[in-house]
Amino acid sequence: MLEIELLHQEIRLCRACTEAGFSVEPPPLVSGHAPATFMLIGQAPSRSDQLNQHMYTGPAAQKLFVWLRSAGFTDDDFGGIFYLTALTKCFPGRLPGKSTDRAPSSREMALCSHWLTSQLAIVRPKAVLLFGKMAVDRFLGPGSMTDRIGQTFHQGGIEYIPLPHSSGASTWLNYPENRARLALALEIVRQVRLRVLAEAVSPTAPASG
Ligand code: SF4
């Protein structure tokens, strides 16, 4: 069995958050193959993901894929060169008395962190898209989305590209200047896609902006 399949098998059996008393709704969700050129890391599976038993199936994900298609990605890319995951792998449940999803706590993210570390080590992405503030802060440290959207960050040989969350619950994109930042971020994504795919075809080609 492939290393990534073994890892997925282990992740699916994890109940660490349930055992710690958190109201997550397992099973953990994993999607993708390794190696993969791109990795998408969001916050946590949605209700829709849990129902479909597949990552990135809800309305916010569909909006994200519209953004990424505008940056040159195709539907084949999402099933092929993209590895899809999140900071935590189990649907966190709804906020009490509300129809919005509960964000995973810092303790749940800590419990799940080693799975993400293992995924990164096996998938070995060239570029990682960080989807939403929780994912951005996890990799870049606490900070302002306004200062980060429209930039790339290099750590350990991986290029990290922050993106805002596309959920209607976020008001960040209501501001025209932030929509301009998103457009800049997607232009960066488009350039990184072209460059990384060119390097994959010709590994010795010099990198260009
Ligand atoms: S969220 Fe992560 S650590 Fe928590 S039970 Fe699911 S897989 Fe395990």
Quick: pLDDT tens for 132-147: 999 999 999 999 999 9
* Dist. CA 74–CA 65, nearest whole Å: 9
CA of 14 to the centre of ligand 1 (A): 6
Assess whether pLDDT exceeds 60 at residue 186: yes
In percent, how much of the chain has pLDDT > 70?
Answer: 97
Pocket test for ligand 1, best of 29, 43, 90 (most atoms within 8 A of CB): 90
132 C-alpha to center of ligand 1: Å? 19
User: CB neighbours of 8 closer than 8 A, spacing ≥ 6?
Assistant: 30
Query: What does the pLDDT look like over 26-35, one tens digit per residue?
Result: 999 998 899 9
Cα 33 from Cα 122, distance rounded (Å): 10
Convert the pLDDT of each residue in 33-89 to its tens digit. 999 999 999 999 999 999 999 999 999 999 999 999 999 999 888 888 899 999 999
205, pLDDT greater than 60: no
Q: 148 CB contacts (<8 Å, ≥6 apart)?
A: 136, 140, 162
pLDDT tens by residue, 147-165: 999 999 999 999 999 999 9
CA of 111 to the centre of ligand 1 (A): 7
Which residues have CB under 6 Å of ligand 1?
A: 11, 14-18, 24, 26, 28, 88-90, 108, 111-112, 115
Domains of the chain with CATH codes: 3-90+103-166+173-199 (3.40.470.10)
